[in-house]
Structure 1
Amino acid sequence: MKKILSDLLKSFRKISIKTKLVLLLTTQILIPLVLVGFLSYKNSEGIIKENSTDYSRDILHMIRLRLDDYLDNLIQISQDLLYEEKIYEVLKSSGNIQDPLRIYEIQNSVNSHLKMMVISRPEIRSICIYSNDGRMFYQDDNTREAGSRSDLPYEKMFAQARKENGKPSLYVVADENKRAKDVYMIRQINDRDDFDELGLLIMHVRKELFDEVYQGLTGNLENIMILSPDMELVASRNIVNPNIMESMLNEGISGYMGEKIDEKAGMFISYITQEMTGWKIVSYVRLDVLYKDARTLRNNIIMLCIAAVIVLSAVTLVIAVNIVKPINKLVNGMKKVQEGEGNVQIEVDREDELGFLQKTFNEMSGEIHHLVNWVYREQLTRKEAELKALQSQINPHFLFNTLEAINWMAQLNNVPEISETVSDLSDLMEASIGRDDRLITLEEEFQYADKYISLQKRRFGDKIELIKNVQPDVLGIEIPRLLIQPLIENAVYHGIERNRGRGTITLNAYRDKKGCLCVEVIDNGAGMEPEELEELNARLTLDNNAYFRGLGGNRRKSIGIENVNRRIKLFYGEQYGLKMESMVGEFTKVTIRIPCEVNMDNREGFYVQGSDSR
């Protein structure tokens, strides 16, 4: 079983997403629809059967009541005959009267009474009184249906009447097909004193009488029949189906009332029993007629399911295509990227989650393209730098020895200005070339700034001045080498040099409220235009990825404010860096904000190699 489920799961995984969506959505809608349809059909079938059962019972009950009335009327007729004195006297005399004239008068009187009874009672075709001594009194309505007195099965009638012991009963004469030809009410005539048998009363009942009991009552029940206890067909509304008669003869029906479904005959049968006669009043209807509405509902549900499957399949297919199409675009785009095609972009035509994936893919593809080009350009630049370094490599010791020789010559020739200048230049070159340690204290960095100002004073004289306001507790904080000197250089070239008056550079260092080191380089130079200041600050706030992506193919040969800002962000993090403030003709202030302590794991030192403009 597990293997079968595993194979099915593997097969399902191989199916395309579109097919999965079609199957899933169709199944989710079709299964509830089929279940609702099936339950509706079965419920309708049950309701129809229940309603038919109740309706059949009501109709059969009404027919039985009518039949009871007819039978009560026949019983009343027989009762009147039994209590007729002339008839009783004739039967009582039983041959004691010898006078022929008296016999004739009595017979004539009885026959006249019987004749009158037959004529006045349309439900009676003939009346026969048969005495035990063989005398017979007989009158009919002079119709062919009345039959002949010689056709009566007296012996069988006597036997049945004796079983009832004076109670009326019905006797049915049927043909070989169990269909009633004549119906008689028979009753034993007993002596009023000692209840001895005197004779037999036979009334030939008009058989059409029994067809009238269901007239106007059957409604939709077209098939009605009345059966004797021996399953003889007494009356029927329509031509009786041979299958139903065969079912009745073979299986019979028992009980006072009930219902059953005869699958073989294809009938739904209901019946009720007339108590006096034991006759069964039966109604039956074909199952295809009974369940016509239910089957119509079933066919409609099937057609609805088929139509729903078609419509839902079409809708599901459209939805699946709508979902799968952008996924295929993503897949094709990924294949192109995998094959090495650069900057692959797909059309974004959605605003949902798939649209977000498309936008993200385009951004990712562009980012990959940029990173690949950036790495490629970086490798080329690194190769060129290595070549230039090899071409222009000079032994630092040789350079320092040469500067030291110049220094000694200046001292020997008593030229202290040259000696001081060479000494300051030597110190700055040593800082630029660098030592093994990547971090220096803030105090050392300020010494380099002093050396640089000292060199600039050889050029500008008293026109330039450096003022330092430094908290003593920050001098020991370590920072990357040459982080402040380029800012002072920038202030000299773009501030003081353009100012005709005395130039002052103020250097402030302190801890802010958050415990970070803040270094301010302020000059009283020409200042910056607001537009230029806003543009520069915008570039300073860019993260490294956006900054380097914006560089494009521009080659930068010197350093400056932006380079120092990048070094800070790369070394300390994106939240640190430079901020500039300026006012035209007044001042320019550059503020460095960095943490006082730094984790050296995975840190890189970045060194400034020249100057740059604001």
Structure 2
Amino acid sequence: MSILPVTLIGVYAYKVYTDSVYSKVSEYAEQSVSLLDDVLYLELQQYSSLTNTLSVMDSVQQLLTNDQKNATTANSTIIQNITKEIDNAALRGINLREVQIISSDKQLLYSTGYIGLASMNYNELIDDIDRVSPSDSLQYISSSSTEAGNLALGRKIYRYHNSQLEPIGYIILYIDARFIQNEIFSNINFGDNSEVYLVTSSGTVLAASNLDLQGSSITDLALFKQLIAEPKIQGGHFKLEGDGTSSLVVYDYSDAYDCYFSATVPQEYLQNETRQITQNLLLLSLLLFVFGLGITMLVYYSIVNPMNNIIKRFSINNNSATNKAGSTLRLSATDDPCQDEVGLLAKTIDDQFVAIQQMSEQQQKDLIRRRELELKSLQYQINPHFLFNTLNSLKWVAKLNNVPVLYNGIEALSSLLQNTLMAGSEFIPLQEELKNLSDYFEIQKIRYGNSFDVKMQVSPEFMNYKIPRLILQPLAENAIVHSTREDVICITISSLKLKNGDIELSISDNGNGFHVDKIKNLSHQFTGIGLSNVDERLKLYYGPAYGLSIRSRIGEGTVVTIQLPHANDSDTVTK
């Protein structure tokens, strides 16, 4: 009878140990799937960004709106421009296998020709794109060239500058599905009988560790039926029973692509670490009669204490977990030197989390670096032709006129070069930007004489407000160049504080004006890259709520306005 209480204590200790292992392995599996789904989301976002770029390209818009029967020559140039944009994309040589542009009547207008998909039936693809629009559609397309097949990422293209969202066609990117096998599934391992799926909410398998399941429908499987019955949340798990087996299913739902990333953890994997302890407990039961209650309590604490240590060290720091777009999960390492079952479990968890965390951090660094390069690329696009025109004007004045105007021109040019090209700061006070404009106007008077007059009506309270460098110069250039008038053109630079605290800076002229509709269709003829550059820079710095607007009337003149946030420093720039 003395062995009964000791045995009960041993059984209780075993149950506590087993439940604790099950709980921590379940938590680890759920976190692993969530992190890998984050990585997959970031990878797919790169391709979504490419569809964004191509959808609003002038060449793509023209291709879809041209009369296809009478535009063969024009289409040749348009297709060359589209191909050039795709070849310049960073994703071209990695996993992007095909890009196709299809008209609204389902006619193939463009194909890169990387793989032979030109003759396929697009009805099912386009039906799904229409169903999820304006979101992106993600579907599986089998391929004879690769065993893994392709993922078709598609979206509907709308007419640019049309507030009514008029659809004009479709764009589909075909992505080699092997990148999921190589870069995502290879980083997860829950035992020999584990299954990993990427499946749509309609039951189509986009990718699976078992290649035979890819492209098939699993709507009849108990796993899928229970999966869609679960809440659509980012991170969850449930227990799946059937055919005398039991497994844990962990999943993560992506609302951006309406699909589930799920993995099954076999019961054998969950019990693997407890199997050895079960054998030891059976042997220990034979010895409990001799050693009694004291030895049983010693065994109890020797099991429970290491488990408590793992739970304590693997507590997630909530302050380090942020949103999906910029998160890195930080877990404390156990640093358990023991070689027993708990030590091996701790070491396995440490190693896999380190690998996943490093991959996630590198992905975030790459995205930040790409963002910085895009901003620098836009800033360096500012057209320098005014500088060469000015130097040319100064040269002829020096040759034909021996007058002090040469001194004034050179002095203004030197000041402008020093304040723009030699300085390294991205943001400067408004007062300094206005000084640059004054130098610019002084230089332009060498070419245009007294054909224009400038008035500064900027409130002194805004003089220390920091704005992006050279943000006003393209606006001033357009006011001088395009405000044709027989008498003197009056150019006014003014400021206004809005009710919400935002600031408006305007450059107006009393020139001949123009139809605003004309600039929407022929902006490249009217401004080069000047005004579009200013608008895009403002949106990159401050967000889509800010940018440039134009008002003009024939015979009355033109007003170009930029809106800036109310914060009086450069910290409002989007990261």
Asked if TM exceeds 0.5, the reply is no
Taking structure 2 as the reference length, the TM-score comes to 0.43
Q: Which has the higher contact order (CA 8 A, sep 6+)?
A: 2
Higher helix share: 1
Between structure 1 and structure 2, the one with the greater Rg is: 1
